[in-house]
A and B are shown apart, each in its own frame.
Chain A
Amino acid sequence: MSLDIHAGELLAVVGENGAGKSSLMNVLYGLYHPDSGEVSVEGRPERFRSPRDAIDRGIGMVHQHFMLVPTLTVAENVVLGREPTRWGRLDMERAVREVADTCARFGFTLDPRARVDALTVGSQQKVEIVKALHRGARVLVLDEPTAVLTPQEADELARVMKDLVRAGRTVVLISHKLKEVLGVADRIAVMRRGRLVTEVRAADTTADQLAALMVGDAPRAATDEPAPVAQAPGEVLVEAKALHALGDNHCPALRGVDLTVRAGEVVGIAGVDGNGQRELAEVLTGLRRLTSGGGTLLGGPLARLTPAVARERGVGHVPEDRLRRAVVKALSVEENVALGRHTKPPFAKGPWIDFAGRRERTRELLAAYDVRPPEPTLVLQALSGGNQQKVVVARELDAKPRLLVVVQPTRGLDIGAVAQVHARLREARRQGTGVVLVSLDLEEVLALADRVYVLFEGRVTGEFTRPDYDERELGRRMLGAERAHG
């Protein structure tokens, strides 16, 4: 695979998950070493042994998962590795001054003395960019930079990227969000399965063309499907009032959430990561105790719910952290399918495991959900992430839940698997299941949900009903703007 990057341009590299975008950039940054081939900078072939070599040649990288030390200050993070010293001691005053200078030069507003873990995600990303610029980066590589940002922060980032190009820097944007790529890039390189498929000028193409190039002949993304057909909402499944709960850090995570879920509707929970979504899902599935508040869930009290009682009443759960909470990766696929229902037919006969029944049911499910390879005895961890997720969704829906709580169901999946999962969720809704969908991907929420609650700092700051979805307004609410109207 070869790719040219020109000085002073904003190049976007697009492709599906697993197309090789990030690997390519890690090679460019010296984190991975190519098996063959070479990287040249300004005509000179280079061998990057470590990121330090890449940094020395003016390449900076902003990783998808931030590479910041949360307990250090902004200035400490920026100067780490090339600290200014005076007589062997760290010269913190100079570090702060230098970082402030760099911020001022590129128009960032950051407090160099603030601790990084006190900053918002958007600000942390700016710290990453400043860190690269401070090292004299002329080529800046951003890996999926908007994945964690609100729409407002993403707009801000687009402005920053354009400013950088105007200031003579080169920006390489890695993304699979076509709309945003089209908005900012000069040139777009499309990757598929480790190959460069084509390069196009942003002005000469459309999102549909790009999508087709990216996927080849695979199924289209579910997010491009038409919106769900309205259907009359059914009986009330969940009626929650003033939910309060603590987070893992023993600080209040839910601070008075009201929530209603009816049969046959998808209720989306939108918000920036860490605003109580995870805790809400855990409350609804009995995994987290309420400190106050309550209500009813599937005909019983919501207070003091335990996972066993929740399952008994018909709650299904597709948790966020698949490997920690949904599956046992060292067990076989069929054993995982039986988990939670292992005492009931067809998985058990009296006190004994019903091996034949389990095998047969697993085979049916693997075929229906297009899990590859469809092999019940395979150890689960041998499957790809997407196929593992299909197994989880298959198991939960096979139990015919009345309420299904799904958290980040498509994170890290490729487009084909995303489409599968989305189709299944729609199917469950049609059959009258109430679905609570928690996702950080606003597009996903808007594509599937009939109603959306926006959570901010443990409170509902907005409720939107299809078709009145205003992305700007949603974004404002995600950042904590109160109900100004409606």
Chain B
Amino acid sequence: MLEIVTRLLFATLDAAPALVFAALGAVLSERAGVVAVGIEGMMRVGAFCAAVAALTVPTPLAVVGGMLAGAALAAVHAYLCIRWRSDQVVSGIALNLVALAGGTFLLETHYGPNGTPPIQQLTAWDWPALSSVPLLGALSGHAAPTYLALALPFLLQALLTRTPLGLRLRAVGDKPHAVATLGLSVPALRWGAVVGGGLLAGLGGAVLSTTVLDRFEQHTPAGLGFMALAAMVFGRWTPLGAFLAAAFFAFGNALRIGLASSAPGLLELVPQGVLLALPYVLTLLVLTLQGQRSRAPAALGVPYEQESR
């Protein structure tokens, strides 16, 4: 029994980082008041660019490239939403579509329909001292992103609640005009948050290509960006909450895979599709149950205009 739980935890820790990074990116952007529906697209460009870069440069460097690609797409979002005050949801969806179509196009023209050639995965770190301990052993044998995904939520939480910058970001998401009258720049704060969110989303995508898979696949990230948004809402727009929600979703996914492989008889009772849909159904269920009580930043999605008060 203990061994099964350890195996499930291991699978969770292996799969969770991409979702965690994307959810944190969404929290960062939305706390500053900019809707983050474009997260899915940012993950996709991050995953694509990291996989392509890893064909020629060392994989860790390629991951950084994926982050920058995510940030670049986020910068487009920021430019449209902040400079031109366009509708943030429409802009985000447009970016998702561009990333979807652009990724497919480049993939088909350069590498064929099945994905990029395989790349060197990020190396997993083994901790021999840990690996034999039950439960804790699940911590051993992951690549660097897993450990980062365990630390970053706490760092981001501290940034938002304990630093001047965090105070300003929260204020700009709730009442940007108050921030402006104090002589701070609303656009600068929002630019920073959106691009920072893009970096994180790009990292999430890059992690998919370099740890979970060993290439960029046609469907990456297959709705993971939207699950990150759900984790953000479920986690009430706090980094720690989003982290826990993302970990919960990842655990659900690990459970599904675990069930399918350890109890093949189950597949005869329950169609494969139902199991595949499980994480998404879980997400929907969770959102329906608590969506009403959650509190979004007050100025979320509202373009900031200086002279309208």
Q: Which residues of A contact B (CB under 8 A)?
A: 29-32, 50-55, 61, 63, 65-72, 76-77, 80-81, 83, 85, 88-90
Given contacts A69-B175, A70-B174, A89-B162, contact A76 B182 (CB under 8 A): no
Interface pair B163/A72, CB less than 8 Å apart? no
Interface pair B171/A53, CB less than 8 Å apart? no
Bitwise, B168-188 to A at CB < 8 A (1) or not (0) is: 101100110111111111000
Question: Could you say which residues of chain A place their CB within 8 Å of the CB of B180?
Answer: 31, 51
Question: Could you say which residues of chain A place their CB within 8 Å of the CB of B175?
Answer: 67-70
In the complex, 30 of the A-B residue pairs with CB atoms within 8 angstroms, ordered by the A residue number, are: A29-B181, A30-B183, A31-B180, A32-B307, A50-B185, A53-B183, A54-B183, A55-B182, A55-B183, A61-B181, A65-B309, A66-B178, A67-B181, A67-B182, A69-B170, A69-B179, A70-B174, A71-B170, A71-B174, A72-B170, A76-B171, A77-B178, A80-B171, A80-B178, A80-B182, A81-B179, A83-B164, A83-B167, A85-B164, A90-B162
Q: Is the interface of B mostly helix, strand, loop or mixed?
A: helix
Interface pair A90/B164, CB less than 8 Å apart? yes
Interface pair A68/B178, CB less than 8 Å apart? yes
- Kindly report which residue of chain B lies nearest to residue A56, judged by CB atoms: B183
B interface residue count range (under 10 / 10 to 19 / 20 to 34 / 35 or more): 20 to 34
Interface pair B183/A51, CB less than 8 Å apart? yes
Smallest CB separation, B305 vs chain A (Å): 12
Considering only residues 256-309 of chain B, those with a C-beta below 8 Å from chain A are 298, 306-307, 309
B252 within 8 A of A: no
Question: Could you say which residues of chain A place their CB within 8 Å of the CB of B179?
Answer: 69, 80-81
Interface pair A81/B182, CB less than 8 Å apart? yes
CB contact between A70 and one of B168, B182, B298, B309 (< 8 Å): that residue = B298
The docked-state distance in angstroms from the alpha carbon of A51 to that of B182 is 6
Interface pair B164/A69, CB less than 8 Å apart? no
CB contact between A69 and one of B178, B183, B185, B306 (< 8 Å): that residue = B178
Considering only residues 125-181 of chain B, those with a C-beta below 8 Å from chain A are 162-164, 166-168, 170-171, 174-175, 177-181
The docked-state distance in angstroms from the alpha carbon of A67 to that of B178 is 4
Name, among B162, B167, B174, B183, the residue most crowded by chain A CB atoms within 10 Å (CB to CB): B183
Question: Could you say which residues of chain A place their CB within 8 Å of the CB of B162?
Answer: 89-90
The docked-state distance in angstroms from the alpha carbon of A69 to that of B182 is 12
Interface pair A80/B167, CB less than 8 Å apart? yes
Question: Could you say which residues of chain B place their CB within 8 Å of the CB of A66?
Answer: 178
CB contact between B167 and one of A31, A50, A90 (< 8 Å): that residue = A90
Interface pair B177/A72, CB less than 8 Å apart? no
Interface pair A81/B298, CB less than 8 Å apart? no
Smallest CB separation, A42 vs chain B (Å): 20
Smallest CB separation, A113 vs chain B (Å): 15
Interface pair A67/B177, CB less than 8 Å apart? yes
